[in-house]
Structure 1
């Protein structure tokens, strides 16, 4: 099978309505989209990615009003959707009957979000709800460009909708809104402080907690390049070498094969996965990744860095 490249969301929507797979750009990362209501299409997502079957999928909607069709929207869930949709926030809610079991990994909850990227919304407006996990082979760094999708999935999926590099660069914040207390299951660009400004009792849970099972991206190896990721706390710990890359908010000493010096934590998050992939493409053996303060989007950035280093 040859993966086709499209620039028109009409073409991407046609592939998806027919039950095919098409990668689409969202504001977080590129997602591998398929019809959420068709079990065979959902199964092909797992096959193309090599994704573990106990890893639930996020259902993407074109409008928050569609949430009532697939979920029992709680009072907290409604407040979160009203405040943050469209945007990089996924809300976990009690699921209604009717979705293929693979979408929820057999759980009684469903994760939903409304992406903010215009191309994603244009597709969703012509297809209805879509599952759209990151469009990469399972365990690899998520793709932030259409070229990265092709690197991982060329010949394994029907099409890619070509768009610009993603704005956020890391996956959405996932919040459990099944009860009265919003629980961050996976950190992202919507921070705990932003949630608490709306719902003061919001809190984060440990990634190993039982509740985290309701979120994708918490139970399996994720975000890791082939190169070894070494976390460094300052440029004093830098170890320049011809087989190493650097990424961080500081300028390292000379001697690295690749250097990604970022303006701030948000820029770091935006460029992280692309830097991982460039290091792999160059055959480098090590990536020195500078640690940032664990505030704001730095919480999500450090989550991805720690997982990559563990991988």
Structure 2
């Protein structure tokens, strides 16, 4: 198989099981790939390979002080390891995931049980981690195979998001091992980033408004608080 070694970028088709498995194999072996999500295209690297995550920064020319997030397939992966999240945080996440929202939560040893151990120092900040659970069948299936992956938007730093696999190919294919081609993206902007670090004080903060409006986020937060009050 080509890729990883610096040979030509592989183009795989998302509607083919073999195409998704090709990307999964490349990620498992330390590759960096362009993949579709429920918002825009992303660059992905396995959390088993810290050096691959470092490559993402080089490929994008991304400032090192800007953290990348992790992507998992569903909340059951988190529940299985029982991180120390409050009931309110769980209720909020149940309402917003899966979807075009990224939640910032407290970092901790629980990440290592999730499979992020090797990349613990390459994702998030010293204190926090941003989690994505995309509402996208292909991305979910891919992360079911690989486990947690580190992702960030598939564009050179400072440029617009990639909304079609052709954009990823034309901009970055010479630096990538593969692109999972899925046509036009579902959105024209990335996820909405929500800081949940003070959620138990009754505060969530919108750090970046993306495809989900701030108004919708705050409505869901109010619902989560009401549900907790009813318990």
Shorter-chain TM-score range: 0.7 to 0.9
When the two structures are superposed, what TM-score results if normalisation uses the length of structure 2?
A: 0.81
Measure how far apart 1:201 and its partner are.
9.9
Task: Output the aligned Cα RMSD.
Answer: 2.0
2:123 to 103, 108, 112: 103
Pair 1:77-2:83 in alignment: no
SS at the partner of 1:164? coil
Is the 1:93–1:176 contact (alpha carbons within 8 Å) kept by the matching residues of 2? yes
**SS in structure 1 at match of 2:43:** strand
Q: Is the 8 A contact 2:96 2:220 kept in 1?
A: no
The whole-number CA distance in structure 1 between the counterparts of 2:9 and 2:95 is 37
The answer to whether the Cα contact below 8 Å between 1:67 and 1:112 also exists between their aligned partners in 2 is no
Is the contact made by 1:38 and 1:100 (CA closer than 8 Å) also made in structure 2?
no
Stretches of 4+ aligned residues off by more than 6 angstroms: none
Please give the alpha-carbon distance, in whole angstroms, between the structure 2 residues aligned to 1:131 and 1:146.
19
Q: Which has the larger radius of gyration?
A: 1
In 2, distance between residues paired with 1:133 and 1:114? 13
> Alpha carbons of 1:27 and 1:192: their partners in 2 closer, same or farther (altered >3 Å)?
same
Q: TM-score, normalization: structure 1? A: 0.61
* Structure 2 residues without counterparts, runs of 5 or longer: 1-5, 14-18, 110-116, 225-231
Maintained 8 Å contact 1:90/1:173: yes
Matches within 5 A, 1:297-308: none
Task: State the shift of 1:102 in Å.
Answer: 2.3
Is the 1:175–1:184 contact (alpha carbons within 8 Å) kept by the matching residues of 2?
yes
- 1:173 matched to which residue of 2? 192
Compared CA separation, residues 70 and 129, structure 1 to 2 (3 A)? farther
Q: Which has the higher contact order (CA 8 A, sep 6+)?
A: 2
Which one has a larger percent helix, Structure 1 or Structure 2? 2
Cα distance between partner residues in 1 of 2:84 and 2:55:
27
- Partner of residue 186 from structure 1, selected from 208, 218, 229: 208
Partner of 1:93: 105
Structure 1 residues 159-308: aligned runs within 5 Å: 159-179=178-198, 180=200, 181-200=203-222
Partner of 1:118: 137
Query: What number of residue pairs does the alignment pair up?
Result: 201
Unaligned 5+ segments in structure 1 are 203-311
